[in-house]
Amino acid sequence: MRIGVYFCQVESGKILNIDAIAKYSANLPGVELVRMLGIKPKLIPLTLCKELKDNRIQRVIIAGDMPGYYKPVFTKAMAMAGYNPHEVRLASFREHGATAQDSNDRAKAIVACATHGVPFALAAIPKETPVHHSTLIIGGGIAGIQAALEIADAGKQVYLLERTGTIGGHMAMFDKTFPTLDCSACILTPKMVSVGQHDMIDLMTRSELESVSGSPGAYHVKIRKRARYVDIDACVACDICSGVCPVKVPSEFDAELSMRKAIYIPFPQAVPNAYLIDPDTCTYIQTQGEKCGVCAKKCPKECINLNEKDEIVEVEVGNIVLATGYDVLDAKKMEQYGYGIFPNVFTALEFERMTNASGSTGGKIVTKTKVQNKKTKEDEWILLPDGNPPKSVAIIHCVGSRNKKYNAYCSRVCCMYSLKFAHLVREKIPNVKCYEFYIDMRAFGKGYEEFAERIKSEGTFVVRGRTATVEMRGDQMIVNGEDIILDKVIEFPVDMVVLAIGLIPAPGTQELSTLLGLTRDSDGWFSELDYNGSPTDTERGGIFVAGMCQAPKDIPDTVAQASAVAAGVLKSITSGKGIGHRSSLSLSEIEQRAQLIHTE
């Protein structure tokens, strides 16, 4: 069969060495014609037809990042030339994952398979490997908890790694979940307790991945367990240590709205339910034992060891699940909204903590109160439970999301949680005016649209048009915006502004990706193997992604993905066959296989 190979790219083909691939493809059996068409060529069926006829080409291979784009032209040309139009085959580099720097061999194999008329996926099934029965899960948020419970309930060992002192992640900070307005803690806390008590789950808090070696099915993992300085088994969470600790720092769990001590428990329902010491702020640890140490003296159980050291734990696992979650964008970057300048501009996480019954205001939505700091004699704004409730609240959508200057992508959850905020505001404060400023309302899930309609019918003013700026006029905060439906430029006087801030990958995602040899997409999230077909796998065999670390998603989707990951892990364990790295086959092996399938 006489074969013609056409190279044409849609985007610049700088990642791959197209010339080398073309040279290679010219030596493949049957290839008579190799043409380089460059980036976005303008193809004319008539000229192509003439070329095909002149060279008596019976099969056309279109090779490139998105060759399907040009298929219609070639099909037409083949038909015009009187050849079989079905003999136009695609060698798609992007579809088959030849997108990284060192995937020239993979691209060559893709072209080779196409010339044989063999699907690449068939010829390039990775080798299967035996699988170790235990699993490592990185990240103890809802995704990690769900995956851990599903795998452990199936009777397989799980190591659950968590960087902070407790599992629970962001979901533990929330008050209500959308669209059902269920209590977030009521869903999460039982799961957390199950994790803490499960025989098959080895929970490692304050731990981070140190190194990974080995191959799919048999990873050798080194974990750094940072010192907690408190014996988890002995601690009864009596709070005496925290009472005597002199150091006060903003609480991370409370979105820095309230203060915690250097020895603290993140929240009362924390798992493991034990105190821990923040070594960065503890006086004893910072002065290397010269000062303080009062907590250790006062502890009735004598479970505080201020001289504890980090330890390295080594485990063998078959699969690794990434569930590292997200972080929020720094709202101070967007000066126009006045976050950090005006006291009553809150981020979504801060508002979430404020409205939570376990938060510093006991669930009351109040504006900040001006208080004089006794030490510095300066006025500062703090949240007090008896503060004034706002008369009007503005919730601004898409802050830092869908914005080419910050995040080009949609953070996917903001519309819904903003609507939830509007409900909570109107539920907790009588006669409050609540404005939602949105660009496009993305209420896409089951029951979401109904929820949005419900919020609108409750009397929240849903204004199309995101506000441009927040400014202070005297004591009154003014939100400037354009109401696009009314076609008016308007100013809203409000007492409180909530910014539906965009989401970014969790800190450390980049380090983790280099450690594990994973690729990330242009926005920084972990890349899945195939967006539609295998959304939980990665290109490295035996490594899975669950939850936000793959892309922004809400709690139902996160839980669903975590369960899907558990199914994938359990499949590999029960079948005893894990799928290896996609790069485990060499070029010649794929060529041989393609040849074999072709002759069969």
Partner 1 sequence: MPIRVNPRLIEELDFFGAEDVQYCYHCGDCSANCPHADEVFRFPRKWMRTLQMGLERKLETALEPWLCYYCGQCSEQCPREADPGETMMSLRRWLISRYDFTGIARLFYTSKASEILAIVITGLLTGIGFLWYGLHFGNIHIYDGPGAFLPSSFIHTFDLTLGSVLLVILLINAFRMWRLTLYNERSVPIPWWLYIKRIFLLPWHFFTQKRYAECESKRSTKIFMPWIIHLSLMLGYVIMLVLVMAFIEQLQLGPEIFWPVHVFGYAATIGLVIGTIYFIRSRVFKQNQVQYKKSHSTDWVFVVLLFIIVLTGILQHLFHRTGLLEVANIIYIVHLMAVVPWLLRMPFSKWAHLVYRPLAMYFASILRDAIKIQEKKESPVPSPALG
The binding site for partner 1 (CB under 8 A) comprises 336, 398, 402-405, 433, 439-440, 461, 465-469, 480-484, 486-490
Residue type, 410: C
CB of 351 to partner 1, least distance (A): 21
DSSP string covering 442-455: ---STTHHHHHHHH
Could you count the other beta carbons within 10 Å of the beta carbon of residue 211?
A: 12
Pick the closer one to partner 1 by CB: 210 or 483: 483
Q: Distance between CA 104 and CA 20 in Å, rounded?
A: 8
CB of 236 to partner 1, least distance (A): 51
Pick the closer one to partner 1 by CB: 69 or 461: 461
Q: Give strand pairing partners of 379.
A: 372
Pick the closer one to partner 1 by CB: 400 or 578: 400
At which residue do the structure tokens 């980090």 appear? 310
The upper half-sphere exposure of residue 445, i.e. CA atoms within 13 Å in the direction of its Cβ, equals: 15
CB of 403 to partner 1, least distance (A): 4
Q: What residue ranges in 192-262 does DSSP mark as E strands?
A: 201-204, 207-215, 218-225, 248-250, 259-261
CB of 404 to partner 1, least distance (A): 5
Nearest CA-CA partner of 241 in 253, 252, 228, 254: 228
Pick the closer one to partner 1 by CB: 1 or 486: 486
CA distances to 6, 8, 351, 425 from 48, rounded to whole Å, are 11, 14, 62, 65
Contact 144, 167 (CB under 8 A): yes
Nearest CA-CA partner of 425 in 526, 348, 310, 478: 348
Q: Distance between CA 211 and CA 308 in Å, rounded?
A: 22
CB of 152 to partner 1, least distance (A): 44
Pick the closer one to partner 1 by CB: 440 or 530: 440
Kind plus residue range of the DSSP H or E element containing 350: helix 348-355
Pick the closer one to partner 1 by CB: 135 or 460: 460
Structure tokens at 149: 């419970």
DSSP string covering 395-434: EEEEESSS-TTS--S--SSHHHHHHHHHHHHHHHSTT-EE
Contact 62, 71 (CB under 8 A): yes
CA distances to 123, 144, 204, 208, 582 from 169, rounded to whole Å, are 42, 9, 14, 15, 32
Pick the closer one to partner 1 by CB: 367 or 467: 467
Pick the closer one to partner 1 by CB: 386 or 487: 487
Sheet holding 201-204, edge to edge: 201-204, 158-161, 135-138, 319-322, 543-545
CB of 286 to partner 1, least distance (A): 40
CB of 504 to partner 1, least distance (A): 16
CB of 486 to partner 1, least distance (A): 7
Q: What φ, ψ does residue 573 adopt, rounded to 5°? A: -75, -50
Pick the closer one to partner 1 by CB: 242 or 403: 403
Pick the closer one to partner 1 by CB: 486 or 596: 486
Pick the closer one to partner 1 by CB: 466 or 593: 466
CB of 490 to partner 1, least distance (A): 7
Q: Distance between CA 533 and CA 542 in Å, rounded?
A: 16
CB of 481 to partner 1, least distance (A): 5
At which residue do the structure tokens 């240590």 appear? 241
CB of 485 to partner 1, least distance (A): 10
Contact 530, 545 (CB under 8 A): no
Nearest CA-CA partner of 142 in 163, 176, 171, 175: 171
CB of 304 to partner 1, least distance (A): 50
CB of 484 to partner 1, least distance (A): 5
Pick the closer one to partner 1 by CB: 42 or 309: 42
Pick the closer one to partner 1 by CB: 315 or 410: 410
Q: Distance between CA 426 and CA 153 in Å, rounded?
A: 41
